[in-house]
């Protein structure tokens, strides 16, 4: 049954308030997942690395059976190497290990709010580079033609600059907007200063104080706002089978309005 307009409005309100929301016991097909996502925005183009559904490549297949090239287990905000990173994603659990495989989410609103005043003031003036290669080079180099493919991907996704602090386009709130997977350096600082500052900010963003941990059950759905959260997929299930379907929504170019 299609989502009624008032239900879509309630879900959007909850997403904007909490950053991530969860739904238990919601078995849906890939087509239904795409239809639901379309209620909340434009569906993004296929992911450049993950597998995609053969019938509709806008449905991303995230599958693991202890694969050697599994390297995405870092705290991150999705695709910040793009000019307009995704607005959010809807993830449906299809196959879950008997134990492990949780996903952790962290509020970057809370991370920003708890920074000391001098650090906040400094961050207001900073921008950072985000790199596709920083996140995916290890994965590509696992494959025979990986270096050639990586060279091509560098041209598709050149270094991208975003503000270190981001203003949410709907709530107007400020969040911390660097992540250890894709953020390579802070432009306004020396290399040594940048390394030290990013180490401080990454550590701060990953404090348990800002986190929620979701223990998946088959047919769970998670919907997160990629503009104000980070997430981490725990890889603690060995060679067990974990299968998730994801649909991602088109986002906008990050900006910061200094209050």
Which domains does the chain possess? 5-249 (3.60.130.10)
User: Worst-scoring range by mean pLDDT, 47-51, 78-82, 159-163, 251-255?
Assistant: 47-51
Q: Which residues pair with 106 in a beta bridge?
A: 211, 230
Q: Could you give phi then psi for residue 73, rounded to 5 degrees?
A: -90, 70
Q: How far apart are CA 243 and CA 113, in angstroms?
A: 35
- Residue 70, pLDDT > 70, answer no
Helix %, strand %, coil % for the chain, to 5? 30, 25, 45
Whether 5 is a known active-site residue: answer no
29 confidence band (pLDDT: 50, 70, 90): very high
pLDDT at 150: 79
172: left (phi over 0), alpha (psi -120 to 50) or beta: left
Q: Assess whether 168 carries a catalytic annotation.
A: no
Q: Which residue has the higher pLDDT, 145 or 198?
A: 198
Choice among 44, 78, 220, 225 that is catalytic? 78
Question: Can you tell me the distance from the alpha carbon of 94 to that of 32, in angstroms, rounded to the nearest whole number?
Answer: 14
Using the structure block, give the residue that is written with the tokens 């078995």.
27
List strand residue ranges (DSSP E) for 119-220, in order.
127-130, 160-163, 165-167, 174-176, 183-186, 211-214
DSSP at 209? G
Catalytic residue among 47, 166, 231, 242: 231
Give the separation between CA 137 and CA 66, rounded to whole angstroms: 19
78 is a catalytic site residue: yes
Say how far apart CA 115 and CA 203 lie, in whole Å: 12
Is 209 tagged catalytic?
Answer: no
Could you read off the pLDDT of 126-149 as tens digits, one per residue?
999 999 888 876 777 777 777 887
What would the pLDDT profile of 145-193 be if each residue is shown by its tens digit? 778 877 788 888 899 999 999 999 999 999 999 999 999 999 999 999 9
Which position has the higher pLDDT, 178 or 63? 178
Strand partners, 159: none
Could you please report the per-residue DSSP string of 63-99? EESS-TT----S-B-TTTTSSS--SEEEEEEEE--SS
Active-site pick, 47, 76, 202, 227 = 76
Q: How high is the pLDDT of residue 68? A: 52
Which residues are 225's β-sheet partners?
Answer: 88
Task: Specify the range with the lowest mean pLDDT, choosing from 7-11, 62-66, 108-112.
Answer: 62-66
pLDDT of residue 65: 80
């Amino acid at each position: 049954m299609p989502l009624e307009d008032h239900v879509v409005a309630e879900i959007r309100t909850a997403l904007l308030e909490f950053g991530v929301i969860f739904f238990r016991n919601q078995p849906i097909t890939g087509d239904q997942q795409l239809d639901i996502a379309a209620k909340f925005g434009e569906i993004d183009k296929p992911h450049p690395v993950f597998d995609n559904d053969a019938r509709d490549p806008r449905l991303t297949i995230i599958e693991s059976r202890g694969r050697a090239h599994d390297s995405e287990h870092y705290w991150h905000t999705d695709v910040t190497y793009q000019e307009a990173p995704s607005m959010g994603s809807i993830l449906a659990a299809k196959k879950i290990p008997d134990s492990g495989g949780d996903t952790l989410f962290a509020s970057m609103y809370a991370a920003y709010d708890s920074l000391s005043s001098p650090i906040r003031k400094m961050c207001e003036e900073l921008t950072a580079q985000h790199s596709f290669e920083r996140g995916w080079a290890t994965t590509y180099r696992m494959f025979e033609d990986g270096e050639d493919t990586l060279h091509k991907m560098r041209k598709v996704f050149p270094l991208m600059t975003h503000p270190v602090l981001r203003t949410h386009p709907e709530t107007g709130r400020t969040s911390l907007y660097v992540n250890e997977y894709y953020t390579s350096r802070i432009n306004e600082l020396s290399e040594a200063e940048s390394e030290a500052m990013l180490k401080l900010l990454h550590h701060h963003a990953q404090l348990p104080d800002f986190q929620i941990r979701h223990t998946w059950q088959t047919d769970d759905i998670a919907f997160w706002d990629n503009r104000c959260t980070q997430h981490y997929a725990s890889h603690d299930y060995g060679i067990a089978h974990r299968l998730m379907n994801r649909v991602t929504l088109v986002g906008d170019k990050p900006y910061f309005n200094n209050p």
